[in-house]
Chain A
């Protein structure tokens, strides 16, 4: 059977360009926004972050699986990155989750 031409170079370029424009625009938009997370903060703010992290866990992670085993702090960042992608979390939620799991 003749090998099928999977996709034209032009289409690939158009798709990559569209993705690039989208991502670039998102990056510029994000730069124009004020930082979401709090500055180094009073203890009250940190407690608030921990509470929020617990809510993020309950509202997102627990929807799919049971609470995890103890996560060693040295891999918590990696695991939360993975969960941010899987659960489509915002950066603010990711940060709250980090503070909750690895204060």
Chain B
């Protein structure tokens, strides 16, 4: 199987070398007119979260290094690996004990083929709905727990295969972007993936700052099922507000979440203190179908969350705190998250200043 994956990568690279020749002349010229350099980068986030679910505390240290290695200005190798510790009290009251889990979230070769097409080969995040690609990064997520419906459309989280993505059409009034992918099945350690095919598309209206989109996925192994998502986001420029919502449905259940986040930067009182404070509210509901499971609840579940996050030092450091109340048949519980996150971005070696 590996040789076929390598063959695919080589094929894509050969296309890249040929097609870039003429298509990218203007871009190369443009890049030289800026001071931008293409030195490899190590980026990512780290954090430490004290999590309490139903009175049971857990310590969750996490680091997610992202490696970016460009080959010229049109081919990029990028990877992200997640290291998350999971430590609980021994027998409920003793010392904390646990282990660190490791997973390769993506390790992909991107070829920026043209203005409208980027070809991706390797392991990649499955583009389904709003969360997986945009908001699950440790240093971005306002709420540390992903939505209840997060398991829909993300079997194993990532896919192994190929993907085409980019902007399909763009005018001053709207932008339409897309992603289409195929993933093979893999049992390889750290690279587990399901055999799936799917796509995601959205339209963004820059004047209104509104985006509306949808995702579809077909599982092509075992019990072949369809999954779908519809989502919308509104982020006005005049006020530091961000509202987003998503509805997801699969064979095992359906649900939605609505989230609003507001920075208190326009507060007229004690602005220096409050301008870096963020308040988030999220409400979600899930109804299982056909017994639920497969990463989803098996009973009707509702949950409300509130977040208070404070940003320091150019937004790199952040103190986070979330409280949630989950309601489900006979098992209502509180969920707490308190901790910090840090975003880093460093050149791998010196380059031109």
Please tell me which one of the listed residues B8, B117, B139 contacts residue A26 in the complex, with CB atoms under 8 A apart. Answer: B117
A24 and B15 in contact, given A19-B119, A88-B178 (Cβ under 8 angstroms)? yes
Chain A residue nearest to B70 in the complex (CB): A78
A27 and B23 in contact, given A19-B119, A74-B347, A76-B35 (Cβ under 8 angstroms)? yes
- Check if A74 sits within 8 Å of B352, measured CB to CB: yes
Please tell me which one of the listed residues B70, B114, B118, B345 contacts residue A69 in the complex, with CB atoms under 8 A apart. Answer: B345
Binds A, one of B95-103, B158-166, B322-330, B331-339: B158-166
Question: Bound complex: CA of A98 vs CA of B78, how far in Å?
Answer: 19
Indicate if B93 sits at the interface (CB-CB under 8 A). Answer: no
Indicate if A44 sits at the interface (CB-CB under 8 A). Answer: no
A79 and B345 in contact, given A37-B26, A85-B78 (Cβ under 8 angstroms)? yes
Please tell me which one of the listed residues A6, A64, A85, A94 contacts residue B120 in the complex, with CB atoms under 8 A apart. Answer: A85
Query: Can you list, as one digit per residue, whether each of B107-124 has a CB less than 8 Å from chain A (1) or not (0)?
Result: 000111111111110000
Chain A residue nearest to B117 in the complex (CB): A26
A19 and B19 in contact, given A26-B116, A90-B116, A99-B34 (Cβ under 8 angstroms)? no
Please tell me which one of the listed residues B4, B15, B351 contacts residue A74 in the complex, with CB atoms under 8 A apart. Answer: B351
- Check if B113 sits within 8 Å of A23, measured CB to CB: yes
Indicate if A47 sits at the interface (CB-CB under 8 A). Answer: no
Question: Bound complex: CA of A40 vs CA of B114, how far in Å?
Answer: 21
Indicate if B7 sits at the interface (CB-CB under 8 A). Answer: yes
Question: Bound complex: CA of A17 vs CA of B214, how far in Å?
Answer: 27
What is the CB-to-nearest-CB distance from A25 to chain B, in angstroms, rounded to a whole number? 9
Mostly helix, strand, loop or mixed at chain B's interface?
A: mixed
Question: Bound complex: CA of A85 vs CA of B35, how far in Å?
Answer: 21
- Check if A27 sits within 8 Å of B70, measured CB to CB: no
A64 and B134 in contact, given A12-B8, A24-B15 (Cβ under 8 angstroms)? yes
- Please name all residues of chain A whose beta carbon is closer than 8 Å to the beta carbon of B39 when the two chains form the complex: 74-75, 78
A88 and B179 in contact, given A29-B114, A75-B345, A81-B73 (Cβ under 8 angstroms)? yes
- Check if A37 sits within 8 Å of B27, measured CB to CB: yes
- Check if B195 sits within 8 Å of A40, measured CB to CB: no
Question: Bound complex: CA of A101 vs CA of B345, how far in Å?
Answer: 15
Indicate if A62 sits at the interface (CB-CB under 8 A). Answer: yes
Question: Bound complex: CA of A16 vs CA of B164, how far in Å?
Answer: 12
- Please name all residues of chain A whose beta carbon is closer than 8 Å to the beta carbon of B311 when the two chains form the complex: 66
- Check if B73 sits within 8 Å of A12, measured CB to CB: no
Chain B residue nearest to A7 in the complex (CB): B184
- Interface size (B, Cβ < 8 Å)? 84
- Please name all residues of chain B whose beta carbon is closer than 8 Å to the beta carbon of A15 when the two chains form the complex: 162, 182
Query: Can you list, as one digit per residue, whether each of A64-85 has a CB less than 8 Å from chain B (1) or not (0)?
Result: 1111111111111111111011
Indicate if B167 sits at the interface (CB-CB under 8 A). Answer: yes
- Check if A31 sits within 8 Å of B23, measured CB to CB: yes
- Check if A95 sits within 8 Å of B27, measured CB to CB: yes
- Check if A69 sits within 8 Å of B315, measured CB to CB: yes
- Check if A6 sits within 8 Å of B1, measured CB to CB: yes
A30 and B23 in contact, given A19-B162, A68-B345, A79-B345 (Cβ under 8 angstroms)? yes
What is the CB-to-nearest-CB distance from B114 to chain A, in angstroms, rounded to a whole number? 4
- Check if A72 sits within 8 Å of B112, measured CB to CB: no
- Check if A26 sits within 8 Å of B113, measured CB to CB: yes
Indicate if B170 sits at the interface (CB-CB under 8 A). Answer: yes
A75 and B41 in contact, given A27-B23, A85-B112, A86-B133 (Cβ under 8 angstroms)? yes
Which B positions have Cβ atoms within 8 angstroms of A? Answer: 1, 4, 7-8, 11-12, 15, 18-19, 22-23, 25-27, 29-31, 33-41, 43, 66, 68, 70, 73, 76, 78, 110-120, 133-135, 137, 139-140, 162, 164-167, 170, 175, 177-179, 182, 184-186, 195, 204, 206, 209, 211, 233, 235, 237, 242, 311, 314-316, 343, 345, 347, 350-353
5 extra A-B contacts, CB within 8 A, seeds A35-B25, A85-B78:
A27-B23, A58-B237, A82-B43, A91-B27, A94-B112
23 A-B contacts (beta carbon < 8 Å): A6-B195, A19-B162, A20-B12, A20-B15, A26-B117, A37-B26, A55-B206, A59-B204, A63-B235, A66-B311, A67-B315, A73-B37, A73-B352, A73-B353, A78-B68, A78-B70, A79-B41, A85-B112, A90-B175, A92-B115, A93-B170, A98-B30, A102-B37
